[in-house]
Copies of this chain bind each other. A is one copy, B any other.
Amino acid sequence: MEIDHNFYMNLAISEAWKYQGLTYANPAVGCSIVGEHGELLAVEAHHKAGEPHAEVNAIKAAYYKLTQDEKILQLISSSQIHIYLLQNHNNIFKKCSLYSTLEPCSHVGKTPSCANLIAELGIKNVFVGVEDFNTDAANGNTVLEKSGANISLHVEQQKCEDLLFPFKKFMSDKFVFFKWAQRLNGTTDAGIISSAESRKNVHAMRDVCDLLVIGGNTVRNDRPTLDARLVNGKAPDILILSREKEFDTAIPLFHVKNRKVYIESDFSRMNDYKNIMIEGSAKMYELSRDIVDYYLCYLAPAFGGHDGFKNIEDKFQILNADKEEEDIIMWMKRIEDYE
């Protein structure tokens, strides 16, 4: 295995994918920091909108690794961490290299600017996967150049583009992903499939989705709640795709507070939303095939069940496969020209 700039960028990319979807309305971003002698100091990601950016999480972790100053571990908000680092960095980052999947931001929003922080700390080498297209946040590279940092652009660019794509999509239009859980033998029926860890991850996804799309038959058969109770999160609005508009109103999903439920026969409602998860199996897969950007599969290493994705021919590219304690979580895109 070659240990080079791509290696450190790939560590950042893998870490970022663990939070893909969960960072909405922010992008999924990862960041590694390597010290003066090539020592790996931190690999971190952005976890959730409102929380510190990947660069700040990584600089915080690197600062602790270099100084063992436990005070920084107490600091949670991005502002606190920025202020503490600016006051206490003692130039320990001067000879470090920073790898960020996305150009560090230049705008001061919920947090101060990452580019300014990196410039103030005097980080010597900055490796960037992909430049920011968001005019509010872009120009981080300009800030860094002025500070005298060496900037290398387009490190593992394609992988960083794939990571950033959902952000680009919901910023310009809407991002639609199709999520399902299956066993290794391809079945999606017959009771609970995913591990507790995966189910919690799905609830975290629901917490940040603004619309969840589900088929009418699934609602009738499974009588689901479709909330985010496992993470104490908010329940997304629901679009039930169904020609038949009557449902038993005792089904729990209709009784979740602060939620709209639409029962409609097409997907046009999606145009009112930005971050949309479709939950389903074979039938919904086929119905939504032309409007889905990415696929998210929770794969449980088990044989069992009966029905799954039959009579469908499609090919995917695996963008990331993350082995959890039990399951594998895969983000994929469909290969368009597959016949």
**CB within 8 Å of B: which residues of A?**
1, 3, 11, 15, 35-44, 65, 182-187, 297, 299, 301-304, 306, 308-310, 312-318, 321, 323, 326, 328, 330, 332
Give 29 pairs: A residue, B residue, CB < 8 Å, sorted on A: A1-B11, A1-B42, A1-B44, A3-B43, A35-B37, A36-B37, A37-B37, A37-B38, A39-B39, A40-B40, A182-B184, A182-B186, A184-B186, A184-B297, A184-B299, A184-B309, A185-B186, A185-B309, A186-B186, A301-B317, A302-B314, A302-B315, A303-B309, A303-B312, A303-B315, A304-B314, A318-B326, A318-B328, A321-B323
Asked whether B304 lies within 8 Å of A312 as measured between CB atoms, the reply is yes
In the bound complex, what is the Cα–Cα distance between A316 and B318 (angstroms)?
Answer: 22
Residues of B close to A318: CB separation below 8 A: 301, 323, 326, 328
Residues of B close to A183: CB separation below 8 A: 186
Asked whether A184 lies within 8 Å of B316 as measured between CB atoms, the reply is yes
Residues of B close to A332: CB separation below 8 A: 301
Residues of B close to A302: CB separation below 8 A: 313-316
In the bound complex, what is the Cα–Cα distance between A302 and B330 (angstroms)?
Answer: 13
Contacts A323-B318, A328-B321: A185 and B40 contacting too (C-beta < 8 A)? no
In the bound complex, what is the Cα–Cα distance between A313 and B183 (angstroms)?
Answer: 10
Partner of A313, one of B186, B303, B323: B303
In the bound complex, what is the Cα–Cα distance between A160 and B186 (angstroms)?
Answer: 30
Most B-side CB within 10 Å, residue of A38, A185, A314, A332: A185
In the bound complex, what is the Cα–Cα distance between A98 and B80 (angstroms)?
Answer: 38
Copy number of this protein in the oligomer? 2
Question: Whole-angstrom distance from the CB of A334 to the nearest CB of chain B?
Answer: 10
Asked whether A185 lies within 8 Å of B3 as measured between CB atoms, the reply is no
Given contacts A38-B40, A184-B299, A303-B309, 7 further A-B contacts (CB under 8 A): A1-B15, A35-B37, A38-B39, A185-B308, A185-B312, A301-B316, A318-B326
In the bound complex, what is the Cα–Cα distance between A43 and B187 (angstroms)?
Answer: 38
In the bound complex, what is the Cα–Cα distance between A321 and B41 (angstroms)?
Answer: 26
In the bound complex, what is the Cα–Cα distance between A93 and B151 (angstroms)?
Answer: 32
In the bound complex, what is the Cα–Cα distance between A310 and B317 (angstroms)?
Answer: 26
Residues of B close to A187: CB separation below 8 A: 186
Asked whether A41 lies within 8 Å of B312 as measured between CB atoms, the reply is no
Partner of A43, one of B1, B15, B37, B301: B1
Nearest residue, chain B, Cβ from A317: B301
Asked whether B3 lies within 8 Å of A42 as measured between CB atoms, the reply is yes
Residues of B close to A315: CB separation below 8 A: 301-303
Asked whether B303 lies within 8 Å of A185 as measured between CB atoms, the reply is no
Contacts A3-B43, A184-B186: A314 and B321 contacting too (C-beta < 8 A)? no
Question: Whole-angstrom distance from the CB of A90 to the nearest CB of chain B?
Answer: 18
Residues of B close to A43: CB separation below 8 A: 1, 3
In the bound complex, what is the Cα–Cα distance between A95 and B19 (angstroms)?
Answer: 37
Question: Whole-angstrom distance from the CB of A101 to the nearest CB of chain B?
Answer: 14
Ranked 4 nearest A-B pairs via Cβ: A186-B186, A38-B39, A37-B37, A301-B316
Residues of B close to A310: CB separation below 8 A: 185, 306
